[in-house]
Structure 1
Amino acid sequence: MSEFLAELIGTMILVIFGGGVVGGVVLKKSKAEGAGWIVVSIGWGLAVAMGVYAVGNVSEAHINPAVTIGFAAIGEFPWAKVPMYITAQMVGAFIGAVIVFFQYLPHWKETEDTAAKLSVFSTDPAVKSIPSNLVSEVIGTFVLVMGLLFIGANQFTEGLNPAIVGLLIVAIGMSLGGTTGYAINPARDLGPRIAHALLPIIGKGDSNWRYAWIPVIGPIIGGVYGAVFYNAMFIGEVSGLFWMMSVVIAIILAIALTTELKKHNGSIKSANNSSEKEAV
């Protein structure tokens, strides 16, 4: 099996299980309807573990462009292979989403909520705030890539590594996923979002392209920073990229904080104005 095919199949498996568990939880008349966020987090963790088990011995199972780019940024993966890996991941994610569509074929017409249908394919923030949503994806993927490097630095019983990686995904989902649905993977979000736009899903709504750049750019920033941060703090290799990314992260955090404070102050001012008018 080629590395291209391995990344394609691994990412396809990831999306079949991951998108599948979301479909089971949110689509009407599914036997798993309403099972909740814990089930979704565990499902995605198992999805990653299965993808890694399937193709880890062929391509190291990146199954995530943010991981591929992050590893390349610290010399753990050749840049020449990055375009091939990302293409395979995108195609695999798209195919996986199409399979999930057919799995739940009778349930699309039973579900009126267009946002629920989109969530089977792609992420959407619980509270829409672009700078803060970007921060959430950056932090989640920062933890993911650092966690993968932590795991790689330890010795486990043969065959246990993929399960540990799956547990890392569960932990990220339960701890950090409630804000944006933790895409932490550009292919996992963009490939299925394209599938959502193209497939004849009964009663589907907009594919929310206005938000689509967040789960692409955020994970790439977080993945690269997670890799260079690990190298700087744990290996002692402090690079120019580390300092540059540190400045980028600081700017993003400052913008997010300023935006939320402005919204808060605006809400207080609006409430005070309303109280004054009522008093008059």
Structure 2
Amino acid sequence: MSSSDIFTGETIGTAVLILLGGGVCAAVTLKRSKAQNAGWLTITFGWGFAVLAGAYIGTKSGAHLNPAVTLGLALDGAVAWSDVPVYIGSQLLGAMIGATLVWLAYQGQFKAHLTDPELVASLNPSEGMVDQTATPQAGPVLGIFSTGPEVRNAVQNLVTEIIATAVLVLFILTLGLTKGLAVSGTGTLMVALVVVGIGISLGGPTGYAINPARDLGPRIVHALLPLPNKGGSDWGYAWVPVVGPLIGAALAAGIHKLAF
């Protein structure tokens, strides 16, 4: 597989993944969206469908769409280490493109949400305006772009991401043993369903990044976008959804080698 195939497949596939995944978060979060407050199941199924679409579109590159998956496959011997930087760079670029497209698709809703008098007053109740010296760790729309914990405990949050990602990567590695499923494309559907399952079962504590590019790329876009009253990008937490999935992938590769 050529570097150009990897770049094309991973960039476009990851962009679609984040466009649809971030899009469902925007739909559920933002005012003036028809899907506002649709709930957690909507988000988990939306991300599952996002994986399905992105993976089929990215078949040219093997559709990793996730540095943790790339790392797991490299440790398992299925991907050349020389290709890993191209995979990860393309995934990060695609994630940033996808997050930007979410902003473009929901511009009106972002404006309505972030300039809503109730939200503005809540950011600084005493004056009814945003206090720029007291920007919160996570701004009011950061969850559209990246993940954050419900209970802020670095060790617990890290362990949750490790466990959730290990399940995903171990499933992908084990799926390779059933060649018929992988070749037919049914394997892609099964991975998407596992992502839904992970979201429902393990997504509650941290928002289940399980993908460093999915979290880091959109977080960078959030920091750069000219959104009024957007608040902070929570960089103090940003290492958890990067390090946790990578550890989980390495753990999954080790289990796969030992068990299979």
Question: TM-score when scaled to structure 1?
Answer: 0.81
The equivalent residue for 1:52 is 55
| Aligned residue in 2 for 1:221 | 247
The structural deviation recorded for 1:163 is: 1.2
Aligned residues: 233
Shift of residue 37 of structure 1?
0.5
Is 1:118 aligned with 2:142?
yes
Residues 117-162 of structure 1 deviation map (CA, whole Å, 9 limit, x = unaligned): 1000000001100100000110010001011123222233823221
Instruction: Please give the alpha-carbon distance, in whole angstroms, between the structure 2 residues aligned to 1:89 and 1:22.
Output: 20
- The offset of 1:87, in angstroms, is 0.3
- Take 1:5 and 1:71, find their aligned partners in 2: how far apart are those partners? 19
Opposite residue 94 of structure 1, the aligned amino acid is: M
Q: Residue 192 of structure 1 aligns with which residue? A: 218
Matched, 1:102 2:104: yes
Matched, 1:202 2:259: no
Q: What is the distance in 1 between the residues matched to 2:176 and 2:23? A: 28
Question: In the TM superposition, what is the alpha-carbon distance from 1:74 to its structure 2 partner?
Answer: 1.8
> 1:6 pairs with 6, 9, 12, which one?
9
CA distance, structure 2, for counterparts of residue 123 and residue 4 of structure 1: 25
Post-superposition shift, 1:15? Answer: 0.1
Deviations 1:192-226 (A, max 9, x none): 00000001112200000000000000000001111
Which residue in 2 is equivalent to 1:137?
161
- Aligned residue in 2 for 1:179: 205
Q: Distance in 2 between matches of 1:171 and 1:199?
A: 32
Q: How does 1:1-280 map to 2 (within 5 A)?
A: 2-56=5-59, 58-112=60-114, 115-154=139-178, 155-156=180-181, 158-233=184-259, 235=260
Q: Secondary structure at the match of 2:58?
A: helix
- 8 Å Cα contact 1:126/1:179 also seen in 2: yes
SS in 2 for 1:63: coil
Instruction: State the alpha-carbon separation in 2 of the partners of residues 89 and 159 from structure 1.
Output: 21
- How far 1:83 moved relative to its partner? 0.6
Work out the CA distance in 1 between the residues paired with 2:184 and 2:71. Answer: 27
2:24 and 2:242 mapped to 1: Cα distance?
22
1:253 matched to which residue of 2?
A: none
Between structure 1 and structure 2, the one with the greater Rg is 1
Output the aligned Cα RMSD. 1.3
Identify which range, 111-120 or 173-182, moves more after superposition: 111-120
Does the aligned pair in 2 maintain the 1:26–1:116 contact within 8 Å?
no
The one-character-per-residue Cα deviations of 1:84-136 (angstroms, maximum 9, x if unpaired) are 11000000000000000111101112224674410000000011001000001
Q: Which amino acid aligns with 1:65?
A: P
Runs of 4+ with >4 A deviation: none
Larger deviation, residues 70-79 vs 190-199: 70-79
How far off its partner does 1:227 sit?
Answer: 1.3
In structure 2, what is the equivalent of residue 242 of structure 1? none
Aligned-partner SS, 2:141: helix
8 Å Cα contact 1:68/1:77 also seen in 2: yes
| 1:10 alignment partner AA | G
The 2-side partners of 1:213 and 1:66 are apart by 14
Contact 2:210/2:245 (<8 A) preserved: yes
**Aligned partners of 1:134 and 1:218 also within 8 Å:** yes
The gaps in structure 2 that reach 5 residues or longer are 120-137
The residue type paired with residue 186 of structure 1 is P
